[in-house]
Amino acid sequence: MELGINAVWTMLGAILVLFMQCGFIMLEAGSTRMKNAGHIAGKTIFTIGIVSMVFWAVGYAFIFGSQGNPFIGWGDYFGFSSMAIPEGSIVAPTVNFMFQLAFATISMSVAFGGFAERAKLSAYLIFAIVFSAIIYPVIAHWIWGGGWLAKHGDQDFAGSTVVHLTGAVAAMAATMLLGPRLGKYNKNGKPNNIMGHNQVFTTLGVMLLWVGWFGFNAGSTIAAGDGSFFGFIAINTQLGAAAGAVSALLISWMVTGKADISVMLNGALAGLVAITASCAFVESWAAIVIGLIAGIVVFLSMRLFERLRMDDPIYAMSAHGMAGVWGTLANGFFATPELAAKVGVGKAGLFYGGGFEQLGVQALGVIVCAAFTFVVSYLVLYLMKVTIGIRVTEEEETIGLDLSEHGAYGYPEQMKELAHTSSQGHSA
């Protein structure tokens, strides 16, 4: 009975997390221009397909393989030889596979935010294979698969580091190598505001992500239990997101004189990302503080990266990267001894008598995971850049990736407009 209930609960979490891809499609498409919307939607499904097959073949094994070492899992490749449930398991391995696969696809979608509106489809294909076979599994093994950071007590309950920081740092490497979109910066180096074509899509995308995040955080309990613990995690998740949205809107209003909706939406995401590591380790008042600070962090980092000429169309480096760093470090301050003991990972934070030990472990995790992800991502993308190329031509970028990469616009209205313009040209 217990195994059955846990299986249903975990599978529900997996479905919610996979459903978050609908949110990513709407968020990224709405935040970019209409001429690229079909490409963005299509490449998301394409890369989920790649990640699913690669994760089944080797990715899951590199995280949880039974013959692994502190640095990488090993053995148990190509799915599962049987549906048997090992003694002592709290959920069937097949169900856990689906849950972990959903997480891997989310990290991949975060990474591809840095590719938006200018990367070749071939770049997505090759990098998706490398990311889901090597980059993500190694980080996940270190923290979740019994690796060396797990042995140090690194607290990352649902993936502020494993999922979000990993994806964001890969996005940073791509952003640096691809360079800014055409027209993003003027001759004086000042950024132009390239508006997304549909803010309602973006808002709906964030709301879909917000709902799916309960599968992300609360679902990570794996065991359903009496419901009180995952209910507590859900409350912390809601409060962190709410505080992030409010603080981001307020700070943008105070600094710029306008209540920027896009900043508020990224503040909600930053609150969700930040509370992801700490949702099971902190009290609810601390979840609000973590979310409030995340909203400020995302606002400041969005402005900083733009000034550094790092063109990140969906602000993955800010909402997922900087917020992921803050959320991971937050455990070093706010983790309570009771909740750390309940989860069975790490120790209490600085504000609960734990000293700087847990904060040091959290900082170590952030540094080494970010460094590994950046080095491998940059190396792979650089090799691709100097061989096959990773960016479309200026002409292709100008007409849009819908037409240049797929031969049709995502919006039929654009195709009609193109045909009308072409006919006028022939008449002339």
For 286-337, give the secondary structure using H, E and C: HHHHHHHHHHHHHHHHHHHHHHCCCCCCCCHHHHHHHHHHHHHHHHHHHCCH
Convert the pLDDT of each residue in 284-329 to its tens digit.
Answer: 999 999 999 999 999 999 999 999 999 999 999 999 999 999 999 9
Task: Kindly report the number of other CB atoms within 10 A of residue 320's CB atom.
Answer: 33
Could you tell me the residue range of the domain that residue 133 belongs to?
2-406
DSSP reduced 3-state for 191 = strand
Look at residue 9 in the predicted model and tell me its pLDDT.
Answer: 95
Nearest alpha carbon to residue 158 among 86, 213, 228: 213
Which residue has better confidence, 210 or 415? 210
Query: Looking at residues 52-59, what average pLDDT do you find?
Result: 96
Q: What is the sign of the dihedral through the CA atoms of 275, 21, 169 and 246?
A: negative
Is 411 a member of any domain? no
Q: Are 371 and 381 in contact (CB under 8 A)?
A: no
Tell me, what amino acid is at 204?
L
Query: Looking at residues 35-62, what average pLDDT do you find?
Result: 96
Nearest alpha carbon to residue 103 among 66, 128, 132: 132
Is 412 a member of any domain? no
Convert the pLDDT of each residue in 101-131 to its tens digit.
Answer: 999 999 999 999 999 999 999 999 999 999 9
Question: Chain-wide mean pLDDT for the chain?
Answer: 93
Query: Looking at residues 51-77, what average pLDDT do you find?
Result: 92
CATH of the domain at 139: 1.10.3430.10
Is 428 a member of any domain? no
Convert the pLDDT of each residue in 207-236 to its tens digit.
Answer: 999 999 999 999 999 988 888 999 999 999
Query: Looking at residues 172-185, what average pLDDT do you find?
Result: 96
Look at residue 378 in the predicted model and tell me its pLDDT.
Answer: 98
Look at residue 77 in the predicted model and tell me its pLDDT.
Answer: 84
Is 50 a member of any domain? yes
Convert the pLDDT of each residue in 72-97 to its tens digit.
Answer: 998 888 876 566 677 778 888 899 99
Using the CB atoms, write b or e for 111-149: b if 16+ within 10 Å: bbbbbbbbbbbebbebbbbbbbbbbbbbbbbbbbbbbeb
- Looking at the predicted structure, is the pLDDT value of residue 3 above 90? no
Look at residue 75 in the predicted model and tell me its pLDDT.
Answer: 83
Convert the pLDDT of each residue in 134-158 to its tens digit.
Answer: 999 999 999 999 999 999 999 999 9
Look at residue 227 in the predicted model and tell me its pLDDT.
Answer: 86
Look at residue 201 in the predicted model and tell me its pLDDT.
Answer: 95
Is 414 a member of any domain? no
DSSP reduced 3-state for 181 = coil
Query: In total, how many domains does the chain have?
Result: 1
- Per DSSP, helices labelled H in 90-227 are 93-112, 121-130, 136-144, 148-151, 166-178, 199-217
- Looking at the predicted structure, is the pLDDT value of residue 40 above 80? yes
Is 424 a member of any domain? no
Q: Are 55 and 104 in contact (CB under 8 A)?
A: yes
